[in-house]
Amino acid sequence: MVLKLEALQPPGSFKIRGIGAACEQYAREGKKRFISSSGGNAGIAAAYAGKHLDVPVTVVVPETTSSRAIEVLELYDAEVVVHGPSWAEADEHARSLLDSTTAYIHPFDDPLLWSGYATMIDEVAQSGIRPDNIVLSVGGGGLLCGVFEGVQRNGWTDVNITAVETIGASSLEQSVRAGKQVELAAIDSIASSLGAKKVSEEAFLGAQRHNVDCIAVTDLEAVKACRRFLTDHRVLVEPACGAALAWAYKDDSMRLRNQTTLIIVCGGATTTPSQLLRWEQSLEEAER
């Protein structure tokens, strides 16, 4: 098993690869402000990029956003606006704030982002590793689209991809099963970074073109995987990342023995060890 430790990126997740590239592009075009809609790592990446590019950033977050995420956003001097019960409403409000001098930074559905995310596959290929299977978490589908682009340009089109969501945020898994894009009525998962009610069209179409297995795990499995990963590797990640790790920890000794599996540890800066413990205790109590 090979780990791509995107949790070690400066703002805490893989998002800086794509969002940083997009922000650089828009700054070159003369944009004077960035606006993002994200309750988590996309907004944090935009705030981090804006701070380093000396461009002010506004991040519109839904009401479900954790205090930890808002704290990190403000650490990077972002203006934080709380609006709406979910990302969809926050995103609509963010778009209403745009003007001709402002760049809109989509959290997942932008080819600029996908090209940035594909660089992690380039790096794995350059290291001489060719996996049989790539495992990643899926929210809106930006990372998945980046992996599609990365395997394509490295000639890995036969590599299997395992796309993992939590059950309460499984828009891709339900869409693939239905044969059409499905919009969830609501997000019912603590993995708020996976909280897109509808996966991007490119991610859905890509799942038809590539060898993709769609898996959904419980919130409790995702949280337990985060806690185990912290013990095993001393790296803290959030439940959105824990979804992919939960797949890896399930029956790992037999299932992974005869293949090279690349796990994208996408990271996440919006949780703490104490929060993971509280979630685990609460979810275990709910199951009793």
What are the beta bridge partners of residue 35?
A: 58, 104
- Report the C-alpha gap between 98 and 83 in whole angstroms: 16
Rounded to a whole number of angstroms, the distance between the first and last alpha carbons of the chain is: 34
Query: Which among 281, 162, 262, 144 is positioned nearest to 211, based on CA atoms?
Result: 162
In the prediction, which pLDDT does 255 show?
A: 58
pLDDT at position 288: 75
User: What per-residue confidence (pLDDT) applies to 237?
Assistant: 96
User: How many C-beta neighbours within 10 Å does residue 11 have?
Assistant: 24
**How far, in Å, CA of 47 to CA of 227, rounded?**
27
CA separation, residue 15 to residues 9, 115, 168, 253 (Å) = 9, 12, 22, 31
| Model pLDDT, residue 76 | 95
The pLDDT score that the predictor gives to residue 250 is 85
Residue 185 burial by Cβ neighbours in a 10 Å radius (0-12, 13-18, 19+): exposed
Domains, the chain? 2-10+111-287 (3.40.50.1100), 15-105 (3.40.50.1100)
Mean pLDDT of successive 10-residue segments in the chain (288 residues)? 96 96 97 92 96 97 88 95 89 96 94 96 97 95 96 95 94 94 88 81 94 95 97 95 94 64 94 94 89
**What is the helix (H) or strand (E) element at residue 262, kind and residue range?**
strand 261-265
